[in-house]
Amino acid sequence: MSTRSARKRLGRRRGYTLVELMMALALFAVAVVGIISMQKVAVVSNAHAKNVAIAQRIAQGWAGQLEMDATEWQVGFGPGWLNGSNLWERPPYLGARQFGGAFDALGNPLRDTELSRAAFCSHVRTTWLFPSTMGMGGNGTLRAEIRVFWLRDGEAALDSNASMCAADQTAIEANAIGLSTTRYRFVYQTVAVRQHSRI
């Protein structure tokens, strides 16, 4: 009787069977794969959110630059980038303002000689809402549209021989970029800029 009860106690203490261990490992592997895939989605989402935030900051910077141009605008066409051309244009870098159309990965402005480092690019289009030549002087108003764009992951610029922020971009090339929604990501901002009265 004592031998039989000792065997029963020993059998109870032996531990897990091989099948139980394999099932536990399979459940652990499924959980780990789920956590890793969630982590990958979180990293990609965070990178996209960072790019959108930088692009919005660049667009706001451009809105501020155009409003600053309007403080000096009293007659005829506006100074600086306020030309009412109704075309998308990549503005040149202005050394006096240390601001231009190309930006690095952190949103810092780049000179036109540093375009190979550009991660973000901007285009500006100004359209007359109320021309300064109509009616009473000092009432000119422009709608300024700002477009900031950057490449999607794994994509290349439209022109493989030039930077996406090429300094000599034509209006046709700038328009083609705006239509390439599968290649680029975009942030748009619109601001009204008003001429200052001479009074």
pLDDT of residue 57: 96
Give the contacts of 65 (CB within 8 A, at least 6 positions apart). Answer: 80, 81, 97, 99
Residues 184 and 177: their CA atoms lie apart, in Å, by 8
Q: Please write the tens of the pLDDT for every residue from 11-44.
A: 566 667 888 888 988 998 888 888 888 888 888 8
Residues 83 and 86: their CA atoms lie apart, in Å, by 8
pLDDT of residue 160 exceeding 70, the answer is no
Q: Is there a contact between 121 and 88 (Cβ–Cβ < 8 Å)?
A: no
Largest CA distance in the chain: 116
pLDDT of residue 111: 93
* DSSP string for 155-179: ---SSTTS-TT-TT--HHHHHHHHH
pTM score of the predicted model: 0.76
Give the containing element (helix H, strand E) for 42: helix 18-70
Residue 128's DSSP bridge partners are 142
Q: In whole numbers, what is the pLDDT of the chain averaged over residues?
A: 83
Q: Please write the tens of the pLDDT for every residue from 44-81.
A: 889 899 999 999 999 999 999 888 888 887 766 555 67
pLDDT of residue 80: 67
